[in-house]
Amino acid sequence: MYITLETDYAIRIVDCLVHSDHRMDAQSISEATYVSLRFSLKILRKLVTAGIVQSFKGAKGGYILARDPIDITLRDVIEAVEGPYRFSRCLAEDYKCVRNQSLESTCVYHQFFEHLSQVVINELSQFNFQTIKDSSFSCLNADTCSEKYQEGKDWSNLNP
């Protein structure tokens, strides 16, 4: 099971902005994160809509974080791109379970998937971008954003 490529790129874009001390235009973000300009713009629109990134128009326009990195979690970014996290489609409000026709109760799978979803949501909510930036796994700064991404950092030992 993987997060979508769009979500992966959204995390990289936010991380890039965390490490920038100035507004970055979409082209610079695209080049720094190795995400096509068109895809970067699509992702940036979602991040702006979610209140994670702020955009500025004009000659001195660009993008910056709309909130402090400590107030932006991995959950925020994932849900900005993909919508509310659910382990299974059966957790969607409009889903009709073929295993359980009763509207008063849910099947054991639904309950199990709901529990797993909550565990994942809780974990994703623990990781904010300030924690990631301050860790030894911090992989960006304003000048070497793309260079560091190519190194393929190991995030497995990161603790919030």
Specify if 36 maps to a domain: yes
Output the pLDDT for position 132: 85
Output the pLDDT for position 142: 44
Output the pLDDT for position 157: 46
Specify if 86 maps to a domain: yes
Question: Which tens digit of pLDDT belongs to each residue from 74-127?
Answer: 999 999 999 887 777 666 666 666 666 655 566 677 778 888 888 888 888 999
Are 17 and 24 in contact, with CB atoms under 8 Å apart?
yes
Q: Whole domain around residue 83: which residue ranges? A: 5-148
Output the pLDDT for position 98: 66
CATH of the domain at 126: 1.10.10.10
Whole-number Å distance between alpha carbons of 116 and 149: 30
Are 29 and 16 in contact, with CB atoms under 8 Å apart?
yes
Q: Is the pLDDT of residue 138 over 80?
A: no
CA 3 to chain centre: 9
Give me the chain's average pLDDT, please: 81
| Mean pLDDT value across residues 7-23 | 94
Are 67 and 52 in contact, with CB atoms under 8 Å apart?
yes
Query: Which of 3-12, 22-31, 123-132, 136-145 has the lowest average pLDDT?
Result: 136-145
Specify if 98 maps to a domain: yes
Count up the domains in the chain and report the number: 1
Give the single-character DSSP code of 24. Answer: B
Output the pLDDT for position 144: 45
* Angle 147-30-37 from CA coordinates, rounded to 5°: 150
Are 73 and 125 in contact, with CB atoms under 8 Å apart?
yes
Specify if 38 maps to a domain: yes
Instruction: Look up the pTM and report it.
Output: 0.76
Specify if 155 maps to a domain: no
